[in-house]
Structure 1
Amino acid sequence: MTSLVLGPVLRHVGDDSATVWVQTDGPTTVEILGTRTRTFEVSGHHYALVVVTGLIPDTRTPYEVHLDGERVWPPAASPFPPSSIATRGPASASAGRHRILFGSCRYVKVADPRTAATFGIDALDAYSARMAGRPPQEWPDALLLIGDQVYADELTPQTVRRIAGRRDQHPDWPDDEIVNFEEYVGLYRDAWTDPEIRWIMSTVPTGMIFDDHDIRDDWNTSDVWRRQMAQESWWAERVRSGLASYWVYQHLGNLSPDELADDPDYAKIIAHDGDTWPLLAELADRADAEVDGSKGIRFSFRWALGRTRIVVIDSRNGRILGDGDHLMVGDREFGWIEERALEPGPTDHLLLVTSVPWLLPPAIGDLETVNEIAAARPGWRGRLGEKIRQAGDLEHWPAFRESFDRLAGLIAAASSARGDEPAPASVSVLSGDVHHSYAARADVDGAGEAPVHQLTCSPVHNHVPPYVRVGFRLGWSRAAGRLTRAWSTRKGASTPPVTWHKLGGPYFGNTIASLEIDGRHADVVFEQPTGAASLREAARHTLTSAPRSSR
């Protein structure tokens, strides 16, 4: 009998449809709510994305997973409520009440008690356990995992032991990093088999975007970094496997049924008889390559929750670094992002999601901008600037100043009324990566009525060294900000088209954040775990002046 390895993971949900992802241990037909889908194979592993249609808008429907007619989900004697699909629809859109959960940097649970104590309680794990005891009307409407779902370069002891035997065949491969697709399969299995995580992902529509550790620390920091890594004999296999596994495990489910139907790569994969690895390897190589200032695949995507618009930006693989460019996102993909953010239609809240923050602590942002200028210089000064960039992880939006300014321009346009449509009630940039959480209010040149915020939540489950805490506290100090701004001006940096100040934070420790939307009113809440099924509210910040909805 075929078994369920991972999933079900509830992904895109619309008014009358939903996609559900699964991994099985053999070829099979997956059935969910009467929809049957055949698995496809990748290097001996089997997957399916079931597009469930014919659902009723504004309803919650429990579901089961059957493989070749045998029920495999939910497991027998599950302590959790039934997995279910809550569709969107006119009633929920009219009510305008949504809860969007987000966070980043989730390291897997480890078996060693001492190491586990260092990492602390997983915030998403605790949220799921608490959620299971609450009524469905209090459950989140979406979960956004904003980077570092897996760590390919920071392995648990059990993963190191698992891959040790394979290194006899590949002596040039590193002992402490993942290289091929098979090893990535193990990473995702470790990350997604935790019972609490498995249940919440089966019930809350989950969108995902990667960050550097999904491939490697500092991934796509600069053209120099890319050329350095290309010299490693194992790197081509690593980036190919990382991007191929990302496409299978994360990217596919971000797409709507209509987008899947129009995707030629997906059509080739599901139509192929046998192992699809050669097709995926070509896809991954195309995604990694820069051609005429663009990447071969767009991983940015768009979701909507009623009058809340969500545009998720690929700020890792989307970088353009060759031929003298240094862009966070290529021109063609940035154009797509601008179109999705500004397209006509009533919008109460616009969420721009990027794994790396747009607005950092001001002093650190200035340092990154100065470093970009330094690293572009010829000779030893440029080489020194590049070494500092890589050593200090100076690779967020301020280190890509042209892209930083372009995003500011987009936000200014999006925060304004257009034609007969009023301005949104809020524009927020959601991010992770930096191992501390905060809320900041921004004043953008040329912006309209909508307040603009940077909301950062990191980590969900990881260790924050003491020196990191000291550095970020200093980065937020006004005195340090004044000094670095004066220094950046002397070094030739133009004045940023935005100023910002901290509303709250930095909050250190494992954290999960939620946007609580009620009509044109919105709050952000940061919660930190205090037990296996309990969290405390670390902070709550109101993002809009609009009253709560009376609907």
Structure 2
Amino acid sequence: MSIQITRPIGPILLLDDVALGRMSLSALFIMPGDQPPAPVAAPSGPVAPVALARYDGATVWRARFALPADRASTYDWDGQRFEVAGDLTGDLRLAYVSCNGEEVGDMDREGSERNAMWARLRDNHRRTPFALLLHGGDQVYADEVTEGHPLSDDWPDRVPDSPSPQALDGLRAHLRQRFFDRYAALYGAPELAWLAARVPSLMQWDDHDICDGWGSLPRSRTESAVGKALFAAARDSFLLFQHGTVAGDLPARFADPQGGHLGWVINAPGLRLLAPDMRSERTRRDIMGPGGWQMMDAEARRQTQGRTMLMSSVPLLGPRMSILESLMVAIPRMQKYEDDLRDQWQSRTHRDEWRRILRLVRDMARRDGHDVTALSGEIHLATRAEMNLGGGLHLHQLVASGIAHRAPPKGWARFLGALAWLGEDPLPEHPIRIRPLPGQRHRYIAQRNFLVLDRRKGAWQAAWDLEDSGRTPALSL
């Protein structure tokens, strides 16, 4: 049964671009029926939202407007004023989250438990506002959207060989509505909704925004008629609900206006936010395709001042996963987890590509001596790592994963810590070390968490907010 929209959901504030001292923004609204939302009262005047997509009993609308990027400001909607921190020129705070859900039963979870860390992030913003909210992947867990239709009920274990055009049309309608239901439920949660109306979001997708293991599944699944329908529905929903847009209308921050890949970059004073797309062109052999690598090569050549925050939806630095892969091949009942390991940069399948991205990051940092920090999620744990780039430069990796996904067993965190102790140096001249979080003994922490990044007088610090242990001491970057 589809979710019933009985009241407006929104505004959901999304950052389209930063240029000429202004933030270009989209405000997204989900409204009952065909009811249009009230205009957005922006500093430049009222903006009437336009309809982007219609669903059973609801319509998605968007208003595009601009706010200053050098000071705090406000906008108004439906009799309410929304304060936006907005100043990207000096001291600022960023929040980073990932894994907003779970694979099974996420729609049935009790709201205050599910969104406890969102409530904590909201309260944190009330005390000291965030300028931007970075979402590092798995904003929605869509693994169950395939259920309830005969063509996709057994996905990905079995797919029909030659479904009829009529059956595929029915599947597309089913998937489209099921994606809508999940996004509407997420954005209707009061803890996230309050933040999303006041802090512009930037989002990067990962596999669960499509389905578990997308791109690491066999080609017989992803290239099937059902697989193509699933990806198309997920991509349209990703553009609509995570970027406030539709195909052919991508904001200027996207590297490929045609959307062959969905990597993007934001350039603000002293800060570059760089988010390659690790899903659109992904195969079992490649994490990124030609379009993604073209974007990254171009950014590596670009002169940049300050710091680059590189959003890698799967961790760029990690333990020796090849040992686990060998074990899983040898143990038949463990082989079902092979796709999860193949998803990682550290997979033996992606060894050459992993070296390529690490060399690219090294060269990016060395080009003008600027700092690079990798932000990652995906593993439902909190951790950090360092890679010595030479010449006094280091790549810091900060992993914050599990804003809503409950933590795995502590034994899994300890096991990964033991693997990390063995070391992993794909570039022998640049050793990688997995480090404990500030104030923690172990390398991996099995608690729900989010990350706070602070820039003060040009210097950056990071701290993790852990569900049970609270805020860590600050880490200087």
Is TM more than 0.5 here?
A: yes
What SS does the aligned partner of 1:319 have? coil
Match of 1:308 in 2: 271
Matching residue within 453, 461, 468 for 2:396: 453
- How far apart, CA to CA, are the structure 2 residues paired with 1:479 and 1:111? 35
Match of 1:435 in 2: 380
What SS does the aligned partner of 1:524 have? strand
Match of 1:77 in 2: none
Match of 1:22 in 2: 29
Match of 1:481 in 2: 422
Match of 2:240 in 1: 248
Match of 1:274 in 2: none
Residue 59 of structure 2 is aligned to residue 58 of structure 1: no
**1:431/1:311 CA distance change after superposition, 3 Å:** same
Residue 52 of structure 2 is aligned to residue 40 of structure 1: yes
- How far apart, CA to CA, are the structure 2 residues paired with 1:257 and 1:335? 19
**1:397/1:310 CA distance change after superposition, 3 Å:** same
More helix by share: 1
Once the two structures are TM-superposed, the CA of residue 207 in structure 1 deviates from its matched residue by 0.6
Match of 2:306 in 1: 348
Residue 154 of structure 2 is aligned to residue 151 of structure 1: no
Q: TM-score, normalised by structure 1?
A: 0.69
What SS does the aligned partner of 2:216 have? coil
CA contact (8 A) 2:384 2:436 kept: yes
Match of 1:276 in 2: none
Once the two structures are TM-superposed, the CA of residue 187 in structure 1 deviates from its matched residue by 0.2
- How far apart, CA to CA, are the structure 1 residues paired with 2:115 and 2:244? 30
Please list, as runs of the form range in 1=range in 2, the aligned pairs for 1:500-539 lying within 5 A after superposition. 500-504=433-437, 505-529=443-467, 536-539=470-473
CA distances 1:194-251 after superposition (whole Å, capped 9, x unpaired): 11211111111101111111111111115xx2313555x7444322211111111113
Matching residue within 384, 396, 400 for 2:344: 396
CA distances 1:373-419 after superposition (whole Å, capped 9, x unpaired): x99xxxxx9x989946636533211121222111111111122243x
Once the two structures are TM-superposed, the CA of residue 367 in structure 1 deviates from its matched residue by 3.0
Match of 2:261 in 1: 298
Task: Give unpaired runs (5+ residues) of structure 1.
Answer: 66-70, 75-81, 156-162, 266-295, 376-380, 544-551
Once the two structures are TM-superposed, the CA of residue 341 in structure 1 deviates from its matched residue by 4.4
**1:334/1:27 CA distance change after superposition, 3 Å:** farther
What SS does the aligned partner of 2:235 have? helix
Please list, as runs of the form range in 1=range in 2, the aligned pairs for 1:290-439 lying within 5 A after superposition. 297-321=260-284, 326-345=285-304, 347-360=305-318, 362-364=319-321, 366-367=322-323, 387=335, 390=338, 393-399=341-347, 400-418=350-368, 423-424=369-370, 426-439=371-384
Once the two structures are TM-superposed, the CA of residue 438 in structure 1 deviates from its matched residue by 0.8
Partner amino acid, structure 2, of 1:141: A
Once the two structures are TM-superposed, the CA of residue 339 in structure 1 deviates from its matched residue by 1.8
Matching residue within 17, 22, 31 for 2:39: 31
Q: TM-score, normalised by structure 2?
A: 0.79
Match of 1:10 in 2: 13
Once the two structures are TM-superposed, the CA of residue 496 in structure 1 deviates from its matched residue by 8.3
Match of 1:470 in 2: 411
Once the two structures are TM-superposed, the CA of residue 443 in structure 1 deviates from its matched residue by 1.7
Higher gyration radius (CA): 1
- How far apart, CA to CA, are the structure 2 residues paired with 1:263 and 1:499? 32
CA distances 1:417-461 after superposition (whole Å, capped 9, x unpaired): 43xxxx12x3111000101111111124xx443321111001111
Percent of aligned positions that are identical: 18
CA contact (8 A) 1:119 1:463 kept: no
- How far apart, CA to CA, are the structure 1 residues paired with 2:85 and 2:250? 15
**1:522/1:152 CA distance change after superposition, 3 Å:** same
CA contact (8 A) 1:101 1:142 kept: yes
Once the two structures are TM-superposed, the CA of residue 124 in structure 1 deviates from its matched residue by 2.1
CA contact (8 A) 1:511 1:526 kept: yes
Which range is displaced more, 7-16 or 186-195?
7-16
Once the two structures are TM-superposed, the CA of residue 37 in structure 1 deviates from its matched residue by 3.7
Alignment: residue pair count: 436
What SS does the aligned partner of 2:179 have? helix
Task: Give unpaired runs (5+ residues) of structure 2.
Answer: 157-170, 438-442
Match of 1:548 in 2: none
- How far apart, CA to CA, are the structure 2 residues paired with 1:40 and 1:498? 48
Partner amino acid, structure 2, of 1:149: Q
Once the two structures are TM-superposed, the CA of residue 481 in structure 1 deviates from its matched residue by 1.3
- How far apart, CA to CA, are the structure 2 residues paired with 1:217 and 1:199? 29
**1:258/1:27 CA distance change after superposition, 3 Å:** farther
